[in-house]
Structure 1
Amino acid sequence: MAALAVLALSGAGAARAAGADGDGGDGPSLSWSAFGTAGYAVSDRAWRYQRFVDDGGTFKRDTVLGAQVDLQLTPQWSATLQPRLAPATRNDTRWDLTAAWAFAAWRPNNDWLLRVGKLRVPFMLRSAQLDVGQTYDEARVPTEVYSLLPASDFTGAHLSRNWSRGGGELALDLYHGDSPLVNRNRVWLREPSLGAAPAVMFSDLEITVTGAVLSWNTPDLSARAGVHHTRVRNADGSGLLVRPRWVDLGGGAGYWQTRGAGLERVSNSNNVALTLGAEAQLGGGWRLAAEWLRIIPRELEMGMSSTSAYLTAYRSWSALTAYATVAAIHPGSGPLKWVQQLETTTVPGSVQDASALNASMRARADIVPLFRQRSLALGASYALSPTSKLKAEWLHTHAQGSQFMDVPAGQGLLQPRRVNVLSVSYSFAF
C-alpha cells in the first residue's frame, strides 16, 4: 500500500509538470499537492483508547499520507482526485489506500459551485481538512465531537451558493448522497459469546445523508450552523433492533431478549444531527474555537443519542502556538438507560442456560452506542515552515461508559475510568 501511495504522488507530480508546460491559457491544466502526518501516541493503560492507543504506543491513531490531483478542463469545469493511505476502517491491523475525494465540479460563476462524486460531508469547521494536519494546531481534532459524526464521506451531489456581504462572505451548502460504511462500524465486545475472549466486531451499515449548512466567514471570524438527516440500514437488509424484550421466567427472575424472534425491528433508522461552531481571532495572538453537536435518533431507543461540545483557546507567539481544549459528551436517556438495564440484569444460576443469557445481555450492552466522557487537552504546535508543523499534546480523559474505550473482559461498562495520552506528530502539506 505504501508503494501505491508513492506511485500516486509521483504520478501527480508528473501531471503538474505536464500542466506547467501548457500554454497557460484557458485550456486544460493539471496541478497537484500532497499532505501527511506521522504521529505517535501512547497512553498509561493496557486497554486501547480511540481504537489504537495503549501503553505500548502506536503510529496508527494519527498517521496518514495523501495527495490531491486537480484537473482544470475549462474555467467552469474541473475534476479532483485525492488518494489517501491510512489505517483501514474495516480492520484494526491493516492499512488501506482509498480515494477520499473523487468528484467533478461545475462553477458557472463565482457564486455557484456544483460537485458530483465522492465528497466530504460539510459537518464541522474542520471537516474538509480533517486529514491535513498542517492546517490546524491541535494534535488531533476533539474526539468528543468529530468521532461522533454519523458519516464523514459520501457519494452524491454538493451544491454551494456564496454571497459577498460587506467585509464577509455568506455561504449555503446543500448536499445529498450515500455513505456505505460496509464493515466500518467498529464495536468492542468484552465477551462475544459464553467463554469467548474479547474481540472486535465490524458491522455492515449503509447511510444516506442529506443536509444544509450555512456559513459566515470574515478575516477574523468563521461560523457554521447545519441541519443534517441520516438514514441508517444494515447492508444485508436485516432489521435494526428498536428495543430488547423482557422475558419473565417466573419466581422474580427474567432477562432482556436481544436476539431471535418476537423482537420489534425497523428496516431503517432515521436520525437528525444539529451542528454549530465558530472560530474567532481575538487579537494579541489569542484565538477561540468552539463547536457543538446534537444527535437525535427517531426510531431506535438504543440508537445514537448524544450532545457533545468543545472549547479551545489558542495563544500564538510567532511560529509557536499553545492551546488548551475542554470537551465533553453527554448521552441521551435511551442508550444510558438500556446499558444500565442490560448491565445490571442477572439471571440466577439455577435457571437453565443462565450463563448464556447473561452473556447475551452483556454483548448487547457493548453494541449500544453509549458515550459519556470529558477531556482536557494541553498542547502546542511549532511551524517549522509555512508548510510543516511539529505538534505535541497531553490528553486526560475521564469516562463512565464510552465506546471509545476497549473495556477489559469482566469489567463493567459504567465503571469510572481515566486515561492519559501523550502524542507527538509531524504534519506537512505542499
Structure 2
Amino acid sequence: MPRPTFDDPTDLRTMRTPTTLTLLAAALAWLGLAATAQAQNPSSTSPSTPSSTPAAATASAGSEAPVDEAASPDGPTLAWSGFGTLGWAQSNRRWGYQRFIDRQGGFERDSLLGAQLDAQLSPEWSATAQLKLAPSERQDNAWDLRSTWAFVAWRPDNDWLLRAGKLRVPFYLRSEHMDVGATYNEARLPAELHNIVPTTDFTGAHLTHSWSIDDSDFSVDVYKGRASQAKRVWLRDGAGPLPSGAMVWDVTTVAQGLVVTWSEAASKVRLGLHRVEVSPRGNAQLPVRPTWAPLGPGFGYWQTSNELPGPGVEMARSIDNDFLSLGFEASPAAGWHLTGEYGRIRQRKTERSIDAQTGYLTLTRELGHWSPYLTFARLFSSPRSREWARQLDETTVPAYVPGGDLLNASMRASADSVPVYDQRSWALGMAHALTPTQRVKAEWLHTRAKVSSMFDLLPGEKLFQTRSVDVLSVNYSFTF
C-alpha cells in the first residue's frame, strides 16, 4: 500500500495559523493599496500594467500574445505582475465542507497570493514563472509557497505556440486564470466541477494552433505531461493503524488531451477530451472492486485489501479516467452573461475511482460596477459507484466475530476513500469592481447532498444521509 501521511483531526477544526494568516493579510492589504494607486495613476511606470486579462491570468508572454516583430529591440525584456485574494468563508455546520469551511469561519478556503515573471527573450521565444502562496496540499493547517507555472514558450508565428515546462491543464473555460479572482465575478468557482478533476497542473508539453475565419477565432490544443500530487481523503473513524481525520496519499498523475475552442465577440465554446492515469507511488496497487468474504452462515464482509482475510481482491496498478469537458459563454442580451460547463468522468480498470457527471450554469447581470449573479451546480456519481460506497458503509460484521470491529472499520474507511457524490448547490452573489483590477465579492451558497465526499463528517456519522450546508463568503481580489 502507498504510505499515507496524516493530519491530527483534533487540530484540523480547532487550530489556525495566525502568524501565517496575519502576514498574508498584511501582504494582501499592502499589495491592494499598490493596485489602487496604480489604477489611479495610469501613467505609472510599473513593469506590468494589468488589463481586464492581466498577465498573471494568461501568461501573456507564453500564451495569447501574438508575435510582434518590433518586440525586444534591445534584447530580452522582463515584466512582473501579481494577484491575490483575501477571502473569508463560514458555514452553519460543525463538520467541514470543501476542506476548510466550517462554522468557525476562516481565510484558508479562498485566500492566496501569487506573483509572476514574464521574460520576452526574442520575438519568438519567451519564458514564464509563477509562484503561489496558498494552503498546503499535504497539511490542512499549513501554508506552502509553490511553483504553479514554469515554462518556456516558442511562437514561430501568430498561428502556432509551443510551451514546455510546468503548465495548467486546459480542463475548464477559466483554467489559465482560475486562481486570479479579479478576472471573474463569482466569489468561488463551482466546486462541483473544479474540485473533482484528478489534477489541474502538469509538467510536459502543450501545443496550440489558432486561426481566424471571418469574425470567429478557433484554436486546437494538444498536451501531455505528468504531475506528482498529494491526494487527501477524510476518514470518519479510521481503521486499525489508520487514525480518523485527514489522510494524504502520494500519487503520480499522467494527463493528455485534445481541446478545441471557438470564440466570437462575447461568445465562446470549448470542447475537451482528456485521458488521466493516476497511480500510487512505489509498488502499491489498488483494488479493482471489493470481494465478498463469507464468515459464517448468512453473513460476511467486503474484503478491500489482500492484507485482510478472505478469498483475495483483484488489484490494478493504476486508475484510468476519461474526462469529457464542454463549456460555453454567451451574452443573450445587453448586460446579461450566461456561462455553463459540463463534465463527464468515466473510470477505467477499477470500480473504486470517481465516476460522475457534473455541471453548472451561471447567469450574471452587469449593472455598471455591480455584477449580481446566480449559479446552479449539480454533481452526481454513477449508480454503481454510489452502490459500492453504500454497501461498504452499511455492511456490518456481528460483534461476536473475532476481529469484527477491524473488518467493519476497514469497510467504512474504504467507503470514505472513494469520491462519491449526489449533491446540488445554489449560489447567489454580488461583485463590485472598485477599479479595473480590484473586486469585492459577497456570496451565499446553499448545498444539499444525499452523499458528498466534500463533507468532512464527524466520527460515527452515516455516509448516506441527506444533509445541507449554508456558506457565507466575502472576498477581496486584485491584480497588479
- Aligning the two structures, in what range does the TM-score lie when normalised by the shorter sequence? over 0.9
Count the aligned residue pairs. Answer: 418
Kept after mapping to 2: 8 A contact 1:26/1:74: no
Give CA-to-partner distance per residue, 1:253-305, whole Å, 9 cap, x none.
10011122521111122110000000112232111000000000011112110
Residue 85 of structure 1 pairs with residue 133 of structure 2: yes
Task: Tell me the SS of whatever aligns to 1:157.
Answer: strand
Cα distance between partner residues in 2 of 1:69 and 1:85 = 15
Structure 1 residues 306, 391: CA separation in 2 closer, same or farther (over 3 Å shift)? same
Q: Which SS does the other structure have where 1:282 is aligned?
A: coil
Residues 72 and 121 in structure 2, CA contact (< 8 A), matched pair in contact too: no
Partner-residue secondary structure (3-state), 2:407 = helix
Larger displacement relative to structure 2 (76-85 or 242-251) = 242-251
Matches within 5 A, 1:310-329: 310-329=360-379
Q: What code does the residue aligned with 2:73 have?
A: G
Q: Deviations over 1:124-181 (max 9, x none)?
A: 1011101100000000100000111121000000000001111121000000000111
Corresponding position of 1:20: none
1:179 corresponding residue in structure 2: 227
| Secondary structure in structure 2 of the residue aligned to 1:342 | helix
Instruction: Answer yes or no: is 1:251 the counterpart of 2:323.
Output: no
Task: Give the Cα separation in 1 of the matches to 2:275 and 2:293.
Answer: 35
Q: Please tell me the residue identity of whatever aligns with 2:113.
A: L
Alignment of structure 1 residues 271-290 onto 2, 5 Å: 271-290=321-340
User: Is contact 1:60-1:87 (8 Å) kept?
Assistant: yes
Please give the TM-score of this superposition, normalised by the length of structure 2: 0.84
- Distance (Å, rounded) in 1 between the aligned partners of 2:278 and 2:296: 37
Q: Secondary structure at the residue paired with 1:411?
A: coil
Tell me if 1:209 matches 2:259. no
Higher strand fraction (1 or 2): 1
Matched letter for residue 333 of structure 1: P
| Percent of pairs with identical residues | 46
Instruction: Give the secondary structure class of the aligned counterpart of 2:388.
Output: helix
* Corresponding residue number in structure 1 for 2:145: 97
Structure 1: unaligned runs, 5 residues or longer? 18-22
Q: 1:391 corresponds to which residue?
A: 441
Please tell me whether residue 238 in structure 1 is matched to residue 238 in structure 2.
Answer: no
* Alpha carbons 1:26, 1:75 under 8 Å: kept: no
The residue type equivalent to 1:281 in the other structure is S
Counterpart amino acid of 2:235?
A: L
Residue in structure 1 matched with residue 53 of structure 2 by the alignment: none
**Residue equivalent to 1:296:** 346
The answer as to whether partners of 1:280 and 1:288 remain within 8 angstroms in 2 is yes
Amino acid at match of 1:231: E
Could you tell me which residue of structure 2 aligns to residue 31 of structure 1? Answer: 79
Q: Is the Cα contact below 8 Å between 1:373 and 1:402 reproduced in 2?
A: yes
RMSD over aligned Cα atoms:
2.0
Structure 2: which amino acid aligns with 1:35? F
Match of 1:154 in 2: 202
Comparing 157-166 with 186-195, greater Cα deviation is found at 186-195
C-alpha separation in 2, matches of 1:90 and 1:15: 36
Partner Cα distance (1:150, 1:193) in 2: 25
Counterpart AA for 1:359: A
Alignment of 1:342-381 (within 5 A): 342-381=392-431
Using the TM superposition, give the Cα deviation of residue 237 of structure 1 relative to its aligned residue in structure 2, in angstroms: 2.3
- CA distance in 1 between counterparts of 2:458 and 2:271 reads 39
Runs of at least 4 residues of structure 1 off by over 6 A?
Answer: none
- Are the aligned partners of 1:188 and 1:406 in contact in 2 as well (CA < 8 Å)? yes
TM-score of the superposed pair, with normalisation by structure 1: 0.94
* C-alpha distance in structure 1 between counterparts of 2:388 and 2:73, whole Å: 63
Q: What is the aligned partner in structure 1 of residue 213 from structure 2?
A: 165
- Rounded to whole Å, the distance in 1 between the matches of 2:80 and 2:272 is 31
Aligned to 1:142: 190
Residues 198, 278 of structure 2: 8 Å contact kept: no
- Match in the other structure for 2:474: 424
Deviation at 1:214, TM superposition (A): 0.2
Q: How does 1:97-116 map to 2 (within 5 A)?
A: 97-116=145-164
Deviation of the 1:240 alpha carbon: 1.2
Alignment partner of 2:387 out of 320, 325, 337: 337
